[in-house]
Amino acid sequence: MKILRPLLPLLSLAAAEIVAFAVPDSPLHQPAKHPYFAILLIIAVAVYYIAATAQYFKNKNNSATEKPVFYRGPFLAGVILFLNLLNIFTVKTALFPVLYFPALDRVFGTLVEDRTLIIKCIGFSMGILLKGVAGGLIIGFFMGIAVGFSKAAEYWINPLIRILGPIPSTAWIPILLVVFSEARSASSFIIGISVWFPTVVLTSSGIANVKNSYFEVSSTLGAGQLQKIFRIGVPAAMPSIFLGLFNGICGSFVALMTAEMIGAKYGIGWYVNWQKEMMAYSNVYAGLIVIAVMFYLVITVLFKIRDRVLGWQKGVIKW
């Protein structure tokens, strides 16, 4: 098994390529312009072996703490095998309903052929998302600090949070369409709400849970009220604030997809919805792949920031 491990992706690739080129396509499927699927697999495996070589040299210079060179080999082989089977069941044999399960060549082909529109949609969606997340985060953060530190703010704002917060952000759509003249602003607002609620709740509760002796110690060291808030309260509540932000961002993905279905002209959620209406399922799958990658990247960035900001609390909270 150990000797086989580096070769597994290659073996799996060979099997997939044989199926792709040697087995004739079912006549029920529309032919694709190019063998995109087969090319993509070759590129993926090539990239993998380049990365593995880089890892090999890294391990050589570094100590044994690094992962083994071909750690992800079996996983990649498994993925290729799965896609190979999918290829057999769709374009090769047409065992799955042809309309809803298009050829992989056409799914991946869409990503290439439709790229101008897709990139435009990604830009549009990310714009709305960033605007909404930034707004919801900033307002939630400062409101949370106010509620956490001030009795008056708690008295007046807390009931508002309790009542307005739990309303699903998408339920605001009918009102927002009246208030905002532009669908984009309405979409950003929906995303803002969905980020705001968990952020404000977890910020204020995080601050309320900070050990009182931290504040006492800081005041004997000469800290003023503002310094107690920003040098003690906020960093001490940071794990909780991040949890809120994480929940908020996950919720914002749902909000984004829904928001884009209310009269948007672009956006990746709109793209998927529009292609579904056109019964162009290869484009729908392509859109889903784009969404997955997009959100994966957003979450990865968030985790990187978290590791940097919360490096001090190793092993306290894991998520």
Partner 1 sequence: MVGSIRFEGVKKTFHTVTGETVNALSGVDLEIEKGKFVCLIGPSGCGKSTMLRILAGLDTPTEGSVYIDDKKVQRPDCDRGLVFQDPNLFPWLNIYDNVAFGLKVRKLYKKRSADISEYMELVGLKGFEKSYPHQLSGGMCQRASLARALIGHPKALLLDEPLGALDAFTRMNMQDELLRIKAEKDMTMIMVTHDVDEAVYLADKIVVMTPRPAKIEKVIDVDLYQPRDRNNPEFIRLRSEILKILDFAGKEPDVEYNI
**Do 132 and 190 form a contact (C-beta atoms < 8 A)?**
yes
Closest CB 317 distance from partner 1, rounded Å: 12
Closest CB 319 distance from partner 1, rounded Å: 18
- Residue number with CB closer to partner 1 (170 or 219): 219
Closest CB 62 distance from partner 1, rounded Å: 21
- Residue number with CB closer to partner 1 (207 or 257): 207
Is residue 297 helix, strand or coil? helix
- Residue number with CB closer to partner 1 (24 or 315): 315
Closest CB 215 distance from partner 1, rounded Å: 10
Placement of tokens 């919720």 in the chain: 251
**Do 118 and 104 form a contact (C-beta atoms < 8 A)?**
no
Q: Give the integer Cα–Cα distance in Å for 166 and 239.
A: 22
Burial of 84 (0-12, 13-18, 19+ CB in 10 A): buried
Q: Give the integer Cα–Cα distance in Å for 15 and 203.
A: 53
Q: What is the CA radius of gyration of the chain?
A: 25
Q: Which helix (H) or strand (E) holds 225?
A: helix 225-227
Closest CB 316 distance from partner 1, rounded Å: 8
**Do 110 and 282 form a contact (C-beta atoms < 8 A)?**
yes
First-to-last CA distance in the chain? 33
Closest CB 70 distance from partner 1, rounded Å: 34
In the complex, the residues that contact partner 1 under the rule CB under 8 A are 211, 213-214, 216-224, 227, 231-232, 235-236, 238, 312-315
- Residue number with CB closer to partner 1 (60 or 308): 308
- Residue number with CB closer to partner 1 (116 or 213): 213
Closest CB 291 distance from partner 1, rounded Å: 35
Give the burial string for 213-226 (b: 16+ CB within 10 Å, else e).
Answer: eebeebeeeebeee
- Residue number with CB closer to partner 1 (176 or 237): 237
- Residue number with CB closer to partner 1 (312 or 319): 312
- Residue number with CB closer to partner 1 (185 or 219): 219
Closest CB 245 distance from partner 1, rounded Å: 17
Q: Give the DSSP letter of residue 66.
A: S
Provide DSSP, 228-292.
IIIIIIHHHHHHHHHHHHHHHHHHHHHHHHHHTTTT-SS-HHHHHHHHHHTT-HHHHHHHHHHHH
